[in-house]
DNA sequence: ATGACGACTATTTTT
DNA sequence: TAGTCGTCAT
């Protein structure tokens, strides 16, 4: 049994305390590069190995599929190392290959396969595969277990259709994009259409409610859910059905949440329900053999546009703690040692983030020596900027044989910024990969193929059905389709029912009768074999027998060839999925496909230069990082200028970028840049000024830094109004009314307060500015 | 029923 | 600028 502690030896005291945590609530405040993934994975291993927890009772929620996969892999590795010594009394690396393989497959079967590790969305979709048929929405609508998941573009066109065709609204006044955002926001706050209306009773709110209603009706008619529903429906189901909640509460005895600062209201609600069984009285909570363990860093909260709310993290201790005097220290651990970056880089990051007011104070301690200074480069335009970056990469490679192309990352604010870098990399014959942006599953041919599978799995999915009805062309025209759709709407049945009834088809459709019947027969053949035929086989045969492949072959253009290749790539992906998961469920595959981004496909150690947005870069690290486009209007993004809260989020984004670098960091900006077809003059990002000059070498000869002195006078002015605040202070705010201070947010030079107002929730206020006083 | 062309517009980040 | 959308002509 002594061998079981070998992984504990690799931890610092705080990490070890976190890993050893067994029952009850714990918040781990984990700075960038402080080894939080290690703490998470080792804790899971520790729960199983030491506390003998059944893997089936562990729920670990991550933010991306990639993080989930990595966590599984690392858990497997930890187990393999422990078991190698226990079983063979040898280190894992010294075992024969077949022994290693055996060990890993055993671990997969007994451990990893049983663990509930995944994103909120994938875990919820799994729960819904069991229980969605027990759910009724407020209008009594129901869903079946074979529900489809609508992707973004499906949702977009559905909503657009409702606005223009059904409700015949002015597209200018109600654009699909913003209505969709509004509906998504409502769902993420847990609001039904009726509840939304109550909060937004004015004209615009009424119309949006109407669209929301209709949208829900159509989702139900398609037996489909959108991304938000995947979380919202389990929450509703748990609220309306005690025994279902009881079942899952009992299932998930140990709950772990990664990136807790990125959770939103409804995700929090899900975690709360599962963890507390919705027992309102804290004294009744039974932590015996149960835990809730969350890891996060408020400074890396960059998803507020997706309703992420890091005050949820700030509230963790009061939400889940017992409130006893020593609760604060018992339920929180800070990981402050950074194992990733050189001290220079860390100092820059610390100074930068100090300018934020909304944060928990946290000092990252360097463990890796000072390193080279940061280099700041000012370019005339984005072409020169790209040239500089690529030249530097070449230079680095020449001078440092230990680096490969995979050691470099170019990080930017928006996908659109990748272009000039790509061009140069191509010209220089440097291998690179772009992460994010266009998704594999967003390609037309892939969506077509997936739509075939969706209709096989869920014939009510009219959105998918309409997509493939005349794809490839089989002579079913617009008018025919329209009358079929009208018929289905009038009868209130799914389009598929009309199509599969020969009498109806021959009555409604003219010339197209024959092809429709043929099409329906084809699909029916495979529907009948859904349990017996491998998914990949279904896909391939459908693509062949529908004539999809033939049509692409006939075209013979380069584009068509590409598409063809992609269809076969999809086939391979399905094969691999079936192999990996040992599942032949078409629904499992479709869920995975709908919920995967190509961030997940990023393969590390590929020896390619990585290009990606700052958002995609979270959680990654590279020896050499180029953070480009540091200009006002680029980073911080134009839409954040003028709004202090948004600027803070942009600053966190910049902070995430800076903290990706291990050895060397480059910051670049341009004097002018092409924006929407116009050349625009650019001034350096305010964030550049916030990084201490002594850490930076630059190609800019005379530095104009008047601004920093301005902001420091402003700061000293603010501190004069400083009073010392304490948690529990009651205040009166001239707009929000009476409230209570729940947190002191010390942000270096500024201090903010989190104040809870009854009915309004928690707000973050700057006491030196806000119209408030202590009472 | 299909393709081509031109006009238009939208500019953030993603499960 | 570039991608999308709709209209027009075939």
* pLDDT tens digits for range A292-334: 999 999 999 999 888 899 889 989 999 998 888 888 888 999 9
Residue A556, CB, strand C, below 7 Å: no
Residue A426, CB, strand B, below 7 Å: no
Please provide the average confidence, as pLDDT, over all residues in chain A: 87
Write down the pTM of the prediction.
0.86
Q: A547-551 — which CB contacts under 8 Å span 24+ positions?
A: A547/A472, A547/A474, A548/A448, A548/A449, A548/A471, A548/A472, A550/A472, A551/A472, A551/A473
Measured in angstroms, what separates residue A170's CA from nucleotide B8's C1'?
A: 17
Q: How far apart are CA A686 and CA A689, in angstroms?
A: 5
Q: Look at A394-398, A484-488, A516-520 and tell me which has the smallest mean pLDDT.
A: A484-488
Rg (CA), chain A: 28
Specify the pLDDT at position A604: 63
Predicted confidence band of residue A707 (pLDDT cuts 50, 70, 90): very low
Q: Which two tokens stand for residue A472?
A: 């490839």
Specify the pLDDT at position A46: 94
From first CA to last CA, the distance across chain A in angstroms is 58
* pLDDT tens digits for range A641-684: 888 888 999 999 999 999 999 999 999 999 988 887 778 888 99
Residue A418, CB, strand B, below 7 Å: no
Nucleotide minimizing C1' to CA distance for residue A156: C4
What is the 3-state composition of chain A as percent helix, strand, coil, each rounded to the nearest 5? 55, 15, 30
* pLDDT tens digits for range A530-576: 999 999 999 999 999 998 888 888 877 777 888 888 889 889 989 98
Q: Calculate what percentage of chain A has a pLDDT beyond 70.
A: 93
* pLDDT tens digits for range A55-106: 999 999 998 888 898 899 999 999 998 888 888 888 888 888 898 999 999 9
Q: Is A32 annotated as a binding residue?
A: yes
Specify the pLDDT at position A718: 35
* pLDDT tens digits for range A90-102: 888 888 889 899 9
Average pLDDT over residues A332-339: 92
The helix or strand, by DSSP H or E, that contains position A421, with its residue range, turns out to be helix A419-427
Average pLDDT over residues A511-531: 91
> What contacts A360, CB < 8 A, 6 or more positions away?
A29, A298, A314, A743, A745, A746
Specify the pLDDT at position A750: 59
Specify the pLDDT at position A406: 92
Specify the pLDDT at position A602: 55
Nucleotides on strand C with an atom closer than 7 A to protein CB?
A: 1-2, 6
Measured in angstroms, what separates residue A517's CA from nucleotide B10's C1'?
A: 42
What residues of A are annotated to the active site? 36-37, 258-259, 300, 660
Specify the pLDDT at position A154: 85
* pLDDT tens digits for range A401-448: 999 999 999 999 998 888 899 989 988 999 998 887 667 777 888 888
The yes-or-no verdict on residue A715 having pLDDT over 70 is no
Q: Give the number of other Cβ atoms within 10 Å of residue A356's Cβ.
A: 21
The yes-or-no verdict on residue A748 having pLDDT over 60 is no
- The region that residue A619 occupies, defined by phi over 0 for left and psi between -120 and 50 for alpha, beta otherwise, is left
Average pLDDT over residues A476-491: 85
Of A466 and A57, which is predicted with more confidence?
A: A57
A134 closest CA partner among A237, A216, A270: A237
The helix or strand, by DSSP H or E, that contains position A210, with its residue range, turns out to be helix A203-221
A649 closest CA partner among A362, A295, A310: A310
Q: Look at A52-56, A216-220, A355-359 and tell me which has the smallest mean pLDDT.
A: A355-359
Residue A674, CB, strand C, below 7 Å: yes
Specify the pLDDT at position A716: 35
Asked if A647 and A357 touch (Cβ cutoff 8 Å), the reply is no
The yes-or-no verdict on residue A717 having pLDDT over 50 is no
Asked if A590 and A578 touch (Cβ cutoff 8 Å), the reply is no
* pLDDT tens digits for range A749-771: 556 777 777 656 666 676 776 77
Average pLDDT over residues A591-619: 80
Residue A310, CB, strand B, below 7 Å: no
The yes-or-no verdict on residue A245 having pLDDT over 80 is yes
Q: Is A487 annotated as a binding residue?
A: no
Residue with structure tokens 């530095």?
Answer: A703
Measured in angstroms, what separates residue A282's CA from nucleotide B2's C1'?
A: 67
Measured in angstroms, what separates residue A170's CA from nucleotide C7's C1'?
A: 20
Predicted confidence band of residue A711 (pLDDT cuts 50, 70, 90): very low
Q: Nucleic chain B: which protein residues 594-613 of A have CB below 7 A from it?
A: 595, 597, 599-600, 613
Q: Nucleic chain C: which protein residues 384-423 of A have CB below 7 A from it?
A: 419
Asked if A772 and A734 touch (Cβ cutoff 8 Å), the reply is yes
Q: How far apart are CA A212 and CA A206, in angstroms?
A: 10
Nucleotide minimizing C1' to CA distance for residue A436: B14
Of A720 and A93, which is predicted with more confidence?
A: A93
Specify the pLDDT at position A374: 93
């Amino acid at each position: 049994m002594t061998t079981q502690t070998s992984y504990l030896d690799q931890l610092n005291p705080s990490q070890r305390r976190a890993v050893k945590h067994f029952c009850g609530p714990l918040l781990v405040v984990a700075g960038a590069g402080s080894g939080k993934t290690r703490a998470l994975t080792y804790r899971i291993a520790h729960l199983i190995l030491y506390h003998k927890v059944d893997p089936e009772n562990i729920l670990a929620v991550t933010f991306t599929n990639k993080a989930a996969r990595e966590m599984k892999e690392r858990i497997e590795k930890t187990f393999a190392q422990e078991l190698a010594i226990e079983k063979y009394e040898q280190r894992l690396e010294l075992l024969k290959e077949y022994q290693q393989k055996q060990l890993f497959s055993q671990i997969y079967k007994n451990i990893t396969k049983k663990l509930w590790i995944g994103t909120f969305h994938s875990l919820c979709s799994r729960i819904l595969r069991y229980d969605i048929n027990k759910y009724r929405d407020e209008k009594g609508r129901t869903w079946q277990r074979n529900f489809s998941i609508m992707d973004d573009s499906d949702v977009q066109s559905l909503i657009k259709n409702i606005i223009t065709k059904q409700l015949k609204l002015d597209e200018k006044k109600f654009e699909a994009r913003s209505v969709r955002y509004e509906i998504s926001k409502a769902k993420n706050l847990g609001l039904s259409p009726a509840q939304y209306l109550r909060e937004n009773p004015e004209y615009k709110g009424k119309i949006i409610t109407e669209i929301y209603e209709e949208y829900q009706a159509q989702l139900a008619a398609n037996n489909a859910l959108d991304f938000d529903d995947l979380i919202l429906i389990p929450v509703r189901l748990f609220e309306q059905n005690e025994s279902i909640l009881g079942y899952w509460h009992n299932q998930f005895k140990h709950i772990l949440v990664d990136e807790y600062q990125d959770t939103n209201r409804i995700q929090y609600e899900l975690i709360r329900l599962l963890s507390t069984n919705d027992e309102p009285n804290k004294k009744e909570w039974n932590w015996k053999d149960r835990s809730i363990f969350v890891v996060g860093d408020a400074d890396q909260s960059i998803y507020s546009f997706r309703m992420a709310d890091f005050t949820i993290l700030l509230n963790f201790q009061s939400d889940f703690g017992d409130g006893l005097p020593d609760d604060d220290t018992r339920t929180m651990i800070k990981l402050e040692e950074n194992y990733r970056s050189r001290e220079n880089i860390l100092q820059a990051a610390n100074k930068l983030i100090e300018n934020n007011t909304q944060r928990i104070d946290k000092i990252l301690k360097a463990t890796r020596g000072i390193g080279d200074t940061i280099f700041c480069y000012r370019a005339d335009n984005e072409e020169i900027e790209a040239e500089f970056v690529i030249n530097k990469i070449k230079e680095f490679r020449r001078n440092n044989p230990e680096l490969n192309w995979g050691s470099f990352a170019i990080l930017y604010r928006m996908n659109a910024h990748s272009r000039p870098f790509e061009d140069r990399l191509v010209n220089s014959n440097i291998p690179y990969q772009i992460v994010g942006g266009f998704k594999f599953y967003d390609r037309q041919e892939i969506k077509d193929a997936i739509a075939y599978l969706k209709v096989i799995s869920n014939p009510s999915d009219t959105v998918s059905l309409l997509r493939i009805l005349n794809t490839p062309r089989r002579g079913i025209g617009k008018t025919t389709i329209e009358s079929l759709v009208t018929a289905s709407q009038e009868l209130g049945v799914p389009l598929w029912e009309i199509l599969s009834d020969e009498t109806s088809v021959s009555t409604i459709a003219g010339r197209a009768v024959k092809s429709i019947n043929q099409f329906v027969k084809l699909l029916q053949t495979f529907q009948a074999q859904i349990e017996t035929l491998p998914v990949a086989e279904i896909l391939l045969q459908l693509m062949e027998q529908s004539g999809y492949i033939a049509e692409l072959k006939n075209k013979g253009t380069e584009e068509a060839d590409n598409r063809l290749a992609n269809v076969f790539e999809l086939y391979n992906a399905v094969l691999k999925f079936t192999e990996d998961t040992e599942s032949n469920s078409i629904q499992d595959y479709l869920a995975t496909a709908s919920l995967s981004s190509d961030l997940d496909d990023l393969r590390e150690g590929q020896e390619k230069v990585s290009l990606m947005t700052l958002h995609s870069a979270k959680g990654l690290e590279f020896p050499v990082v180029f953070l480009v486009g540091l200009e006002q209007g680029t980073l911080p993004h134009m839409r954040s200028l003028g709004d202090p809260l948004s600027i803070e989020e942009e600053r966190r984004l910049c902070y995430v970028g800076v903290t990706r670098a291990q050895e060397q960091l480059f910051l670049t900006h341009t004097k002018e840049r092409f924006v929407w077809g116009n050349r625009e003059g650019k001034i350096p990002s305010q964030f550049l000024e916030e990084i201490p000059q002594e850490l930076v070498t630059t190609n800019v000869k005379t530095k104009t830094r008047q601004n920093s002195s301005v902001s420091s006078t402003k700061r000293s002015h603010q501190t004069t109004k400083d009073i010392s605040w304490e948690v529990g202070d009651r205040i009166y705010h001239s707009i929000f009314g009476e409230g209570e201070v729940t947190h002191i947010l010390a942000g270096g030079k500024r201090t903010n307060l989190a104040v809870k107002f009854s009915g309004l929730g928690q707000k973050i206020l700057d006491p030196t500015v806000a119209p408030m006083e202590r009472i």
